[in-house]
Every structure is written in C-alpha cells, then in structure tokens.
C-alpha cells in the first residue's frame, strides 16, 4: 500500500469511528460502534432512525464535527448512510 | 347507568377573546386569533406566528401564573353561562377535571389544586396529562364522575400556555407553518396556541338549568406507534371514534358534524382522514361536514379539545357548521371538501363528534349534542376483578415481597433499582427509552405475565392502560432543558422533547407492549396510582371497548427538583371483567381533605355489612414515591387476599387534589375448618 | 421498451413490474410472531402495519433469503426472495418450536405481486387506489378491497409492492400501466430493477455470488440480532471472533468491468468484483466488490481491474451511488405534470476514474 493510500485510509477510519461513536452516544442507538457498517442506511431501514432523530443528528454533526447541514441544499444526499456522512465530513477538511 | 350528563354552560379564555361573548362573536365572523408572537423573541425561529390569549399577547409572567389566570377566567365565565353562583356550587357535590400538561419542574396537579381551592370546590379534582388530548379526556372523565354518581356537577376542561420552550420543541420537529395554519389546505404545518376552556356538565334535574346539549359519550385509544407521529392509517383515531359512538349509543349516520383534530401537519391530517373514511365509509365520510378549529385558535395543546368542543357547541346553537379558517384549496391525500367557507355556513345537526390526537399516540373522541339516544345506553354494569400485579423498587421485585415490608413497617432497602428490560423483552425496540418508560414498561409487562394475559392479536386493542404519573421522567426533562440552555432555542434535543410530557412513559409503554385500548395519564398527587386503578375499574364497568385495563404508576427519583420523587418505583395491576379470585367491590372518591368520606363511600358501595379485614395504610412505608405508594398498597392487598390472609381489604390514600378508597374482596367461597 | 427507457421509467417517472421472483406467505395463529422470530436473523421489533427487513441465514451464516416481515394482527405476512415457499416452510419446521400454534398459507396463486417504482410511483397509486396512499410511510402496508399495498421497493425511489387478488390482477395491471405511461413510464423488467438496486446499494440475495459470505462482509449487521439465537448465529459469532477479512464495497468504473473480475493495486490483488453493470445514470459501470478489509473504504482511486490490453481503473464510492429524484419530491406538493427538472442536481454527483 502506498503512503498516500494508507494515510487516506487511516484518516477515513478515524472519521468513521468518530461518527460511529457519536451515533451510539448522542443518538442512543444501543449498538456497539463496530457493529455499525459503513454503508448502513440511517433512516427507515438500516439503523432505523426517524425524522425526530434526523433533527438531533444534524445538531450533533455540527457540534461534534463542525458539519453544518441546516439550511444547505441537498442535505438529504448527505444523510443517507454512515459513509455519506463520512464523505461530507472529509470534504470539510479538503476546503481551504 | 344514569342518563347522559347535561352540558349547561361553558367559558373560554382564548385567542378569539376572553369570555364567550367575544369568543362567539369572533368565531361566527370567521376571524382568526393567530398573529405575530410578541410574548417572547421568535428570532431564533423560522416562523413567528402563534395564537395567544387576547389581552395577554405580551404577558410574559411565569406560565404557572398565566395558567391559573386563564383557568379562572374560563371557569368563572362557564359558571356565569350555566347560571351557577359560587355559593350554589359550593353546596353541590362538585368536582374538577382538568387537562393540563405543564412541562418543566412543576408537578401538574398543583394547578388543579389551586383552582379548586380558589373556587372552594370541596370535591375531587383530577388532572389528565395526555398532551393534546388532555382536555378532551378531562371532559370524558367528567362525564364518568357524574355517571358513576361521584359528583353532581363537574367543571371539565383544560389549560395551556405557549412558552418559548414549547415553541422551540415544535419548531425543531419541523411541524410549524410559516403563515397561520390552514388545516387540510395546501400549506403544511400547524400554528401553536394557548388558552383555557371549561364546560359545566351536570346531572339532569338538579336545579333549574338550561341544557344546551348532552355529553353522550367518549372514546379513548392508543396508537402504540410513535412518540410524535400518528399511526399513518389512522387506526388509533378510528378506534377512539368507534369507542365514542358506542359509548354514546349513536350510529355513524347520526353524526351531523365532525370537528377534526386537523392540526395542519401532513402526518396528522392524512391519518385523520383515513380514520374518518374507515369509520364512516368513503360515501358517508365524503359527505360528512368536517372542519378544524385550529385556523381560528391555533393548536392550544391541553386546551385544544375543550376549545373545539365549545366552538362546536356555539355553532350548533346558532345552526352553523364551524369553518376551517384560512382554508382555500384542498391538499392531496386529505379530505377533498372540508368546511372551508370564510364564515360558518348554515347547517342543522343534533349530534357532533370532536376528535383529538396527541404525542405518545393518545386519541380521544367525544360525541355530544341535543339528540337523545334512541335506545338506553350500554345496559348493565360489569363486575370488575383483579387478575395480576407487579411491583418494582429497590429491594422489591414481586408483590409477595411487599408483605414483609408492610408487616415490619420498614422502608424497602436503600440502593439503586436495576432492571434489564432488553433481556425481559427481546422483541422490543428500546432505543431512546427514558427511565420512567423503562420502569413502567417493565412493571406492566410483569403484571400482564402475572395475570396470564398475552398481548397478541385482538387482545391488544381490548387492553387499556391508565398510568398515575406526576411528572415526566427527570432524565428527559433534564436533557431537554439543558439542550435549550446550551444549544439555544433553535436547537433543542428533539428526542428528549418527545418525552417531556407526563404521558410520555404511558405512551412508550403502550408502544413497547402494543397496548392499543383506552389509555390515559392522570394525577391527583399522592395516591395517583390508586386513582388510575379507580378509573380503570370504571372503564371496564361501564364501557364495552376493553377486557383488560392496566392500572399503573411510576415515580423516578429526581435529584434536581425539590418536588420530585425520592426513589425509583413502579407498580401495575391488571383489572379485568373475567372473574378471578379478587374483586373490586367498592370505590370511594372525595375531596383532598375527605379521606374518611372516601372510605365511607367505598364501604357504602361495597354493600357488605361485614367489617373489612385488612386496612392498608396509605403512605407508610413507601414515602417519597407519591404516584406509586398507593399502587403498592393495592398490590399488597391483592397478595394478601390471594394468599387467604384476609377476605377483604381496603386501600385508601389522600392526595393533593382528591382522596380515594378501593375495597377488594376475595371471591373464593369460604370453607369452614 | 429498451433498457434505457426502462431505466428512465424507474429513475424519472413510474415503472410497473411483475414480481414473480418474490414469494409471499401468511403465517397465522397465536404464535406466528414467535415462529417467524425463530427463523429470522434480525431483531423482530414488531408493530402492526410496519414492515421489517431481515434475513434467513444458512448454518454457515450465509444469507439464503431476503425477507420482509409484515406483522398483521394475528398473523405475519412474509415477502421473500432467494428461497421457495417449500424451503421456507421447511425452515419453519426445522427451527421453530413445534409446540407453537401456527399455520402457513401460500398467498399464491390466490394473489399476485406487482410493483410500481419511481419518483412518481405514488402518483400512479393515488390515482389507481385512493389519494391518501401518499401518506403511507416507507416500510408500511395496509389492506384495501382488492389486496394489500406494501410501501417498500429496492430502487431508492418511491416503491410499492401490491399483492392483488388474482381475479383482479388483469384489470389492475391494465389500469396501472395506463397510469404509469401517463407519468413517463411503462413496464420494466427485473433486470432493470436489479440494476437500480445495485446503484442504490440494496442487497440482492439472488446476486450474492461469492461463497462464504456472511452479513458481516455484506454490511448487513443491522439485520443480525445481538440479543437472540437464530439459524447461523454460531457461524456469525465465530466469524466475528476470528475477524472478517473482506468487506463489500461499492465502486464505479468507465467501462469493461464485469462480475468476477479480479481487482488489484500496484502491489497485488486486493479483491474481486461481485456484481457490475452499466449504469445510464452514472454513464459508466456501477459495481460491488469484495475488498480486503484494510482498504474496503470509499474514495480510493488506487485499484484497477487488469485486462490483457489495459488496466481498467476503478474508484470506490459510498452507497447509495445516486441522488435519487424521489428525495426531492414531496407527494403533497409536487406532481409529474408540473415537474421542473431544471434546478435538479444530476443523478450522479461523483466523477468517474
């Protein structure tokens, strides 16, 4: 594995683990972080969160990761699976 | 069963005006009381409208004070309308049933206590806290007090005050409309309101009073679906409507007007319309005049039901159909032709139905009007039995353990109460469940097991739950209020907000266990668990929509509030109509300083001249568990009767707003040794 | 219709399909829930009127059936792919307590299953059924006079599976076809539905080609209970203890990548393609691959599929791949006739390697 790739993977895993812990602690999902698959759907099926949870999730993403989604267009595209959240948080780091 | 109670007056303090003259004039002109909120800063929010009580738009005093003031205004207005002088009221067997859901650090029964004291009503005052169905239920239970002969006149209604915290919670859930709400219209979302309303209901023939309408019946149900969303096909709403029609002895075709809950939210209005179609059929449902009063009054929460009943009564008197203020064009999926004229249009009807739904899946419907029932209602009373119980606090995990505690008069052991609900209920989603919900669900599940009731199939819709609860779970209250402090009004913790009402635990328990029959959350302060048992017994005795009623109570230790419970405790009894070894033989109910009267009443109704063998002290030894202690006493009495230690037992308790007594007797035939 | 037209039906209009590959049974009797719970891997958090997605696993922990459990009063309706009704019945006989009072009724041939999928599927349903169907939440169902309407679907769009009485299904099909045609759609094959499922990251038990995969590798842990015992539970426990070596990861490629292809990086093999198909929405290949756990993450450009002529680069991506139109459509506000796609973002927000 190249250094670039291994750097990328370890930074991604760090964000992924952070999101998983946030889901357990702040969203009270009663699930161990390692049991949360990266591509698991957040709402309806998968983790089974609902519209009430969605509001709190947006607040938590802002508070914990500085990811501000409230009011931005296409929020629904970023809140689909754990991986789409991780993507959005990692894009923050890419911005100047 | 006695005849339907008479409605002889009503009074309001609302956004359409204080006092029924102003209210009625504004209502008949088709006005809306919704305006820009001035009481508090709405700049953190994306919507700024609300329906504040006229004249109180900028009054930002303590909500408890405002509640009391709104309540007194409406009560005095109602008494004047009923031509009932305060002196005359005091000489009557009068009671108060109040719908109120003050959330925060106040215990809810305090409001009823203060109102009863100010009016000097000596009889019982019962507070119903089921959010948006609170006052609807309070009217139904008021009718029960009269039908059961515990009062001759009842002031029944509800009060609510719009606070920044409440606004913040609803705002965060995304259910508030930008402009004044237009139920069933193209704009989605609701507008919050406030106010107070009371109806005077009484036994007929008592005095020279004008009967404006009869309160024919009510129905209750639970969705067992979600904390804040209604069951999408309206099954729960339909069950409450059917229950009300049955209680009223009325057919669908007799209903001439339907006052819908109609909040304006997508979820509510669609579910409610599904319910109307399923009860009335698509033909009858499509032609039934239907409207929502929330365009006039906003969503007045705990006062919504009574204000809507009063709107309907005023219009019914005037030969008009209440209209849906602000309605222009029907939205897809809702009623295609709700009454939506600018002003109420002529309509003659003798019987109306008003429906409300609430967080926690609570539904309540009322049937009232000038029409008398075609046939005598309901017929015989049913006997009520106790089939099981469970008790839970530190040191107590089953009702048998209560005996030694009562014998020694020593409090149960210190320490924390541990439960593993996940292990007990493997097929239940316990995510986000708060402490009160966890304890109540555990104890109710164990009581059902003790009673041998399996909640499957049809049993679920015919099993109900009434919980005695003084306040919401302190952990949820704390989470919600700290989120407001730390994150601001725009970002409250929505998952906690869904659980800050006293009825949250009852709703969560019903959802976890799939209980869909009649349900409520009530309080009288100390003794609330016993009150829940009394009301559960009435449900079974005079109604036909349940076979089992669970009477439960829960307390959660609150370190942050001086008024809260001192320990975690929960208790549940299962009542039924199928004969068991123990029968509910007598019930007594009286005012807060009248415990002896309540006991005497229970003995009188018991009809037996034999002395009661076991008298269970009301508080001792379970101090600091205000809701649960009297339920423990009942469970202990049940245990003693089952074990043959006594043939009869009386449990009595006096609380902040009522005294209650219940006699249990053994049904086993005595054998001579 | 051409595959491209079919695709457009599902992604931009409304598509009508036969669901002959799905079994449907009704398990009734007082213990129906307990019996179904005994064979399914997921926590059966039961609420009437809701549907729950779960699995039936083999003894090695491999998924053998993809199941919707639909609790319905005294009974449970099961809709399933991957096994026959006979096999399901045998599974109940093998794993559910024989003392349990249950009856299994195959709802075929009395009923047939058809489905409507697409961002305007609800509009077809509201015209054919009743307008209030638009209030039906995802994974809920209800009965109507001619059958049962399940809101599910595996395309990422609004989706409804309809179990319709066989004597009514002919007329229903004709009427629905007329409705979907008016909504820019038509009849759509299983092949297109499968492509859409792949693009949206839905598990397909009919395409789980690699051997020895458990819900751990398939990213389906959410369908596996940590609280109960079920067929395959031991194998899952063992796999967990040992640690999984690979995980299913989504990818895109420009062209020429197909199911079974090996995937490498500069140093050597890292995995294998388990499913791949050309996606009109992406304008390239959408696929799934089993990758070594250490690199089973989206956002990696370092891998390729070697071919004799040239290495074909792939890019790993997050699931779901598409920004479904359905996410932008509110049945209470929008209609097909008044749609305005000019401000819509593209279906695919990413880029190809």
The secondary structure of B608-662 as a DSSP string is --SPPSEEE-SSTT-TT-TTTHHHHHHHHHHHHHHTTS-SEEEEEEE-SS-EEEE
Closest residue in C to B332 (Cα–Cα): C332
Q: Do B429 and C135 touch (CB under 8 A)?
A: no
* pLDDT over 80 (residue B258): yes
Element (H, E) at B367: strand B362-369
* pLDDT tens, position by position, A41-85: 999 999 999 999 999 999 999 999 999 997 777 888 899 999 999
* pLDDT over 50 (residue B1): no
Q: Assess C318–A contact: CB distance below 8 Å, yes or no.
A: yes
Coil, helix or strand at residue B482? helix
Other CB atoms closer than 10 Å to residue C99's CB: what's the count?
7
Predicted confidence band of residue A30 (pLDDT cuts 50, 70, 90) = confident
C224/B36 Cα distance (integer angstroms): 51
Contacts of A81 in chain C (CB under 8 A): 201, 318-320
Contacts of A13 in chain C (CB under 8 A): 297
- The 3-state secondary structure of chain C reads CCHHHHHHHHHHCCEEEECCCCEEEEEECCCHHHHHHHHCCCCCCCCCCECEEEEEECCCCCEEEEEEEEEECCEEEEEEECCCHHHHHHHHHHHCCCCCCCEEEECCCCEEEEEEECCCHHHHHHHHCCHHHHHCCCCEEEEECCEEEEECCCCCCCEEEEEEEHHHHHHHHHHHHHHHHHCCCEECCHHHHHHHHHHCCCCCHHHCCCCCCCCCCCCCHHHCCCCCCCCCHHHHHHHHHHCCCEEEEEEEECCCCCCCCEEEECCEEEEEEEEEEEECCCCEEEEEEEEEHHHCCCCCCCEEECCCCCCEEEEEECCCCCCCHHHHCCCCCCCCCCCCCCCCCCCCCCCCC
Q: Assess B64–C contact: CB distance below 8 Å, yes or no.
A: no
Coil, helix or strand at residue B267? helix
Q: Do A59 and B491 touch (CB under 8 A)?
A: yes
**C98 CA: distance to closest CA in chain A (Å):** 31
| DSSP E strand stretches across B161-233 | 195-202, 213-222
Q: Assess B224–C contact: CB distance below 8 Å, yes or no.
A: yes
Q: Do A55 and B174 touch (CB under 8 A)?
A: yes
* pLDDT tens, position by position, C171-186: 999 999 999 999 999 9
Any idea which residue has 């913040």 for tokens? B168
C120/C131 Cα distance (integer angstroms): 13
Q: What is the pTM of this model?
A: 0.96
Q: What is the mean pLDDT of chain B?
A: 93
Q: Do C74 and B270 touch (CB under 8 A)?
A: no
Contacts of A83 in chain C (CB under 8 A): 298, 318-319
**B238 CA: distance to closest CA in chain A (Å):** 24
Proportion of chain B above pLDDT 90, given as a percent: 84
* pLDDT tens, position by position, B268-280: 999 999 999 999 9
B415-438: string of b/e by CB count within 10 Å (b at 16+)? eebebebeeebebbbbbbbbbbbb
Of C139, C267, C345, the CB nearest to A45: C139
Proportion of chain C above pLDDT 70, given as a percent: 99
**Average pLDDT for C251-257:** 96
Of C137, C250, C295, the CB nearest to A9: C295
The DSSP symbol for B361 reads: G
Q: Assess B333–C contact: CB distance below 8 Å, yes or no.
A: yes
The pair of structure tokens assigned to A18 is 């952070």
Of B332, B454, B457, the CB nearest to C134: B332
Q: Do A87 and C219 touch (CB under 8 A)?
A: no
Q: Do B457 and C332 touch (CB under 8 A)?
A: no
* pLDDT over 70 (residue B375): no
Of A28, A52, A59, the CB nearest to B173: A52
Q: Do C332 and B332 touch (CB under 8 A)?
A: yes
Chain C interface disruption, residue of B332, B441, B517, most C CBs within 10 A? B332
Predicted confidence band of residue B104 (pLDDT cuts 50, 70, 90) = low
* pLDDT tens, position by position, C293-303: 999 999 999 99
C-alpha Rg value of chain B to the nearest Å: 23
The pair of structure tokens assigned to B467 is 């919980």
**A42 CA: distance to closest CA in chain B (Å):** 14
**A28 CA: distance to closest CA in chain C (Å):** 15
Q: Do C73 and B277 touch (CB under 8 A)?
A: no
Q: Do A52 and B431 touch (CB under 8 A)?
A: no
Contacts of A31 in chain C (CB under 8 A): 226
Of B227, B229, B494, the CB nearest to A55: B494
Closest residue in C to B331 (Cα–Cα): C332
* pLDDT over 90 (residue B395): no
Predicted confidence band of residue B132 (pLDDT cuts 50, 70, 90) = very high
Predicted confidence band of residue B89 (pLDDT cuts 50, 70, 90) = very high
Predicted confidence band of residue B432 (pLDDT cuts 50, 70, 90) = confident
Q: What's the Cα-to-Cα distance from A27 to each of A47, A54, A55, B509, C289, rounded to whole Å? A: 11, 9, 11, 20, 31
Chains that touch A (3 or more CB pairs under 8 A): B, C
Closest CA to C296 of C240, C225, C223, C247: C247
B56/B65 Cα distance (integer angstroms): 12
* pLDDT over 60 (residue B619): no
**B225 CA: distance to closest CA in chain C (Å):** 7
Closest CA to B197 of B24, B432, B429: B24
* pLDDT tens, position by position, B507-563: 999 999 999 999 999 999 999 999 999 999 999 998 999 999 999 999 999 877 767
Q: What is the mean pLDDT of chain C?
A: 95
Angle among Cα C163, C168, C173 to the nearest 5 degrees reads 75
Residue B626, φ and ψ in degrees, nearest 5: -60, -40
* pLDDT over 80 (residue B315): yes
CA distance between the termini of chain A: 27
Tell me, what's the pLDDT at B618?
A: 56
B184/A52 Cα distance (integer angstroms): 23
Closest CA to B7 of B177, B191, B215, B185: B215
Closest residue in A to C217 (Cα–Cα): A37
Q: Give me the torsion for CA of A23, A25, A28, A33, rounded to 10°.
A: 50
* pLDDT tens, position by position, C78-107: 999 999 999 999 999 999 999 999 999 999
Half-sphere exposure of C115 (CA within 13 A, CB side): 27
């Amino acid at each position: 594995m190249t250094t670039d790739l291994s750097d990328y993977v370890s930074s991604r895993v760090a964000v992924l683990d952070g999101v998983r812990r946030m889901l357990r602690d702040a969203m009270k999902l009663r699930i161990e972080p390692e049991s949360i698959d990266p591509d698991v759907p957040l709402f309806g099926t998968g983790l089974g969160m609902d519209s009430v949870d969605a509001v709190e999730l947006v607040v938590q993403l802002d508070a914990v990761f500085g990811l501000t989604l409230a009011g931005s267009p296409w929020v629904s595209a970023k809140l689909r699976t754990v991986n789409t959240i991780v993507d959005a948080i990692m894009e923050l780091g890419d911005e100047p | 069963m006695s005849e339907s109670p008479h409605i002889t007056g009503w009074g309001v303090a609302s956004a359409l005006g204080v006092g029924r003259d102003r209210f009625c004039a504004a209502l008949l002109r088709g006005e809306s009381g919704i305006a820009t909120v001035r009481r508090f800063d709405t700049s953190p929010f994306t919507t700024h409208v609300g329906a504040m009580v006229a004249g109180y738009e900028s009054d930002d005093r303590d909500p408890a004070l405002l509640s009391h003031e709104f309540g007194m205004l409406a009560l005095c207005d109602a008494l004047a309308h009923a031509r009932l002088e305060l002196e005359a009221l005091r000489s009557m067997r009068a009671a108060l049933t109040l719908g109120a859901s003050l959330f925060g650090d106040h215990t809810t029964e305090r409001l009823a206590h203060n109102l009863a004291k100010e009016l000097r009503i000596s009889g019982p005052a019962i507070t119903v806290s089921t959010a948006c169905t609170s006052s609807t239920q309070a009217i139904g239970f008021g009718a029960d007090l009269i039908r059961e002969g515990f009062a001759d006149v009842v002031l029944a209604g509800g009060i609510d005050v719009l606070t920044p915290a409440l606004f913040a919670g609803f705002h965060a859930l995304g259910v508030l409309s930008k402009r004044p709400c237009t139920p069933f219209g193209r704009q989605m979302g609701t507008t919050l309101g406030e106010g107070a309303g009371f109806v005077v209901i009484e036994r007929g023939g008592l005095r020279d009073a004008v009967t404006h309408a009869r309160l024919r019946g009510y129905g209750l149900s639970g969705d067992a679906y979600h904390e804040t969303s209604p069951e999408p096909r309206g099954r729960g709403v339909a069950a409450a409507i059917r229950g009300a029609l049955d209680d009223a002895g009325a057919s669908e075709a007799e209903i001439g007007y339907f006052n819908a809950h109609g909040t304006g939210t997508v979820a509510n209005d669609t579910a409610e319309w599904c319910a109307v179609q399923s009860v009335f059929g698509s033909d009858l449902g499509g032609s039934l005049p239907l409207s929502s009063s929330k365009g006039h009054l906003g969503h007045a929460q705990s006062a919504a039901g009574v204000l809507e009943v009063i709107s309907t009564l005023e219009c019914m008197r005037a030969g008009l159909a209440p209209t849906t203020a602000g309605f222009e064009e029907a939205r897809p999926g809702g009623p295609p032709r709700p009454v939506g004229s600018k002003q109420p249009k002529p309509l003659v009807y003798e019987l109306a139905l008003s429906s409300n739904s609430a967080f926690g899946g609570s539904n309540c419907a009322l049937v009232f009007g000038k029409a008398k029932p075609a046939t005598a209602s309901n017929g015989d009373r049913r006997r009520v039995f106790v089939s099981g119980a469970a008790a839970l606090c530190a040191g107590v995990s089953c009702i048998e353990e209560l005996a030694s505690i009562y014998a020694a008069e020593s409090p149960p052991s210190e320490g924390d109460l541990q439960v593993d609900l996940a292990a007990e209920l493997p097929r239940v989603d316990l995510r986000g469940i708060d402490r009160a919900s966890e304890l109540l669900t555990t104890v109710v599940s164990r009581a059902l097991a003790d009673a041998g009731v399996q909640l499957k199939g049809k049993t679920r819709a015919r099993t109900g739950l009434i919980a005695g609860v003084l306040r919401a779970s302190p952990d949820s209250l704390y989470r919600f209020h700290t989120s407001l402090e730390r994150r601001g009004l725009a970002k409250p913790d929505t998952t906690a907000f869904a659980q800050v009402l006293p009825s949250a635990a009852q709703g969560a328990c019903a959802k976890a266990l799939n209980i869909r029959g009649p349900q409520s959350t009530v309080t009288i302060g100390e003794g609330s668990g016993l009150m829940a048992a009394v009301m559960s017994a009435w449900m079974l005795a005079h109604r036909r929509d349940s076979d089992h009623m669970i009477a439960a109570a829960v307390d959660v230790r609150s370190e942050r509030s001086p008024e809260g419970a001192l320990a975690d405790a929960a208790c549940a009894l299962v009542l039924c109509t199928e004969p068991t070894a123990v029968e509910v033989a007598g019930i007594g109910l009286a005012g807060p300083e009248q415990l002896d009267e309540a006991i005497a009443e229970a003995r009188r109704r018991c009809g037996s001249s034999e002395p009661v063998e076991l008298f269970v002290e009301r508080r001792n030894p379970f101090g600091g568990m205000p809701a649960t202690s009297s339920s423990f006493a009942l469970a202990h009495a049940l245990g003693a009767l089952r074990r043959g230690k006594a043939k009869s037992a009386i449990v009595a308790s006096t609380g902040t707003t009522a005294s209650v007594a219940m006699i249990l007797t053994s049904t086993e035939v005595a054998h001579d040794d | 219709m051409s595959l491209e037209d079919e695709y457009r039906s599902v992604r931009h209009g409304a598509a009508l399909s036969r669901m002959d590959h799905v079994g449907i049974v009704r398990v009734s009797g007082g213990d129906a829930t307990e019996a179904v719970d005994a064979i399914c891997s997921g926590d059966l958090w039961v609420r009437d009127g809701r549907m729950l997605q779960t699995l039936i696993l083999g003894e090695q922990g491999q998924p053998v059936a993809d199941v919707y459990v639909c609790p319905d009063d005294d009974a449970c309706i099961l809709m399933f792919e991957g096994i026959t009704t006979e096999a399901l019945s045998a599974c109940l006989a093998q794993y559910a307590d024989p003392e349990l009072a249950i009856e299994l009724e195959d709802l075929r041939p009395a009923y047939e299953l058809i489905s409507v999928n697409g961002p305007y599927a609800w509009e077809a349903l509201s015209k054919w059924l009743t307008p209030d169907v638009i209030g039906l939440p995802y994974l809920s169902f209800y009965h109507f006079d001619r059958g049962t309407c399940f809101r599910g679907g595996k395309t990422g769009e609004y989706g409804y599976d309809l179990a319709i009485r066989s004597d009514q299904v002919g007329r229903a099909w004709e009427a629905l076809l007329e409705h979907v045609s008016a909504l820019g759609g038509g009849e759509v094959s299983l092949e297109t539905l499968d492509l859409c499922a792949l693009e949206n990251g839905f598990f397909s038990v009919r395409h789980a080609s690699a051997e020895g995969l458990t819900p751990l590798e398939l990213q389906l842990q959410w369908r596996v209970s940590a609280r109960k015992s079920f067929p395959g539970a031991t194998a899952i426990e063992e796999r967990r203890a040992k640690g999984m070596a690979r995980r299913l990861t989504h990818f895109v490629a420009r062209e020429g990548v197909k199911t079974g292809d090996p995937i490498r990086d500069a140093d050597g093999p890292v995995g294998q393609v388990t499913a791949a198909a050309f996606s009109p929405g992406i304008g390239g290949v959408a696929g799934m691959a089993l990758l070594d756990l250490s690199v089973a993450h989206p956002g990696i450009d370092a891998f390729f599929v070697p071919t004799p002529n040239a290495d074909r680069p792939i890019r790993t991506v997050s699931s779901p791949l598409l920004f479904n139109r359905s996410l932008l459509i509110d049945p209470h506000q929008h209609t097909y006739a008044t749609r305005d796609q000019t401000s819509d973002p593209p279906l695919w927000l990413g880029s190809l390697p």
